[in-house]
Amino acid sequence: MTRQLRYFEALREAHAQLLADDPRHCVLGLGVPGPTGVFGTTKGLQDEFGKDRVFDMPASENAMTGIAMGLALMGRRPIIVHMRVDFAVLSMEPLVNQAAKWHYMYGGKLKAPLTVRMIIGRGWGQGPQHSQSLQAWFAHVPGLKVVMPTTPHDAKGMLIAAARDDAPVIVLEHRWLYNVAGPVPDAPYEVALDKAAIMRGGRDITLAGTSYMTLESLKAADLLAQVGVDAEVVDLRSIAPIDTATLCDSVGRTGRLIVSDTGHEFFGVGAEVIAAVTERSFGALKSAPLRIGLPHIPTPTTPALADLYYPLARDIAAAALKSLDSSRELPPDDSDPRKWKDVPDPSFKGPY
């Protein structure tokens, strides 16, 4: 039986195995060697591999990203960590104007083997500057690969694959996933950076999700099963590129598609996925695809507004019934009405 690890443990193990395997790898970022070790993902690595390979950086995101790029040019394979994707906005110039372009501009003679971990997600009123999901920004830039692992297995395998890739790779991790447990092999392994995964088979409708919204899609499939709807759940895993082949195969079986993203609906991943599937599999669709994401307003801080802001499994299931033009009603909502949506399940212990 494969051992169980939590998401943050799988990421820490990936770092440790990369550092042990190849002296070119190094890990840097604000708080990387700190007491919490970026949600536990880098905890103790400096003690194990030294200050020359695992080191802290000042709160200067643009400068630290530039240093990581310089390391990549010198033949290293840096992994840089931004504690919030919101902070990484300050490093857009070196990422977008430099790292993403090198391979193309220099005819393949220069490479940018740079892995950039960015943390997304919500919780306890993080508000508009600490909770965004900006995957659509990075996916829009040619030259950047963008992945969003959902399971501990994929978190380890995709981080190893990203660190060994010659292209700059953005790895987006949702905070509410860090304590999710799942099977993770001991040995180092890679998970492809361009493949979606079928998480649950079904025949009536395809529910495609990104990151944490994949877990909500699985919950939605459970709700739908109680009213006789057999939903297939696809974890997109890769945002750039999008695995249209797996999505179109799924829609070919079900004829219907709901896409749920952690980011904003407007100009978001859901729109791109639906466009890609519609262009390729229009004849297979039995109803109009639907997208679910955040409304086109900044993230609220107050619990009352957050309850209206974040879509959950019941919203996905309701959209599925609408797509099926079904009059069936979902089972009664037995969740605690006093519990805020902006608080994860009890398995999440922080840090925040």
DSSP 8-class letter at 1: -
Q: Which residues pair with 82 in a beta bridge?
A: 118
Identify which of 290, 214, 306 has the alpha carbon closest to the alpha carbon of residue 257: 290
Identify which of 151, 61, 121 has the alpha carbon closest to the alpha carbon of residue 351: 121
Identify which of 225, 7, 63 has the alpha carbon closest to the alpha carbon of residue 217: 225
Say how far apart CA 151 and CA 182 lie, in whole Å. 7
- The helix/strand/coil state of 238 is strand
Contacts of 253 (CB under 8 A, 6+ apart): 203, 206, 232
DSSP 8-class letter at 272: H
Say how far apart CA 351 and CA 167 lie, in whole Å. 31
* Residue 318 φ then ψ, to 5°: -65, -40
Q: Which residues are catalytic?
A: 61, 130
Say how far apart CA 299 and CA 275 lie, in whole Å. 26
Query: 269-281 and 244-254 helices cross at what angle (nearest 10)?
Result: 70
Query: Residue 4 belongs to what H/E stretch?
Result: strand 4-6
User: How is residue 215 written in tokens?
Assistant: 């877990």
Q: Which residue has the tokens 């600490």?
A: 130
Residue 50 CB coordination number (10 Å): 12
* Residue 231 φ then ψ, to 5°: -100, 140
Strands (E), 110-230: 115-120, 145-147, 169-174, 181-183, 197-200, 205-209
Say how far apart CA 148 and CA 235 lie, in whole Å. 9
Say how far apart CA 32 and CA 21 lie, in whole Å. 20
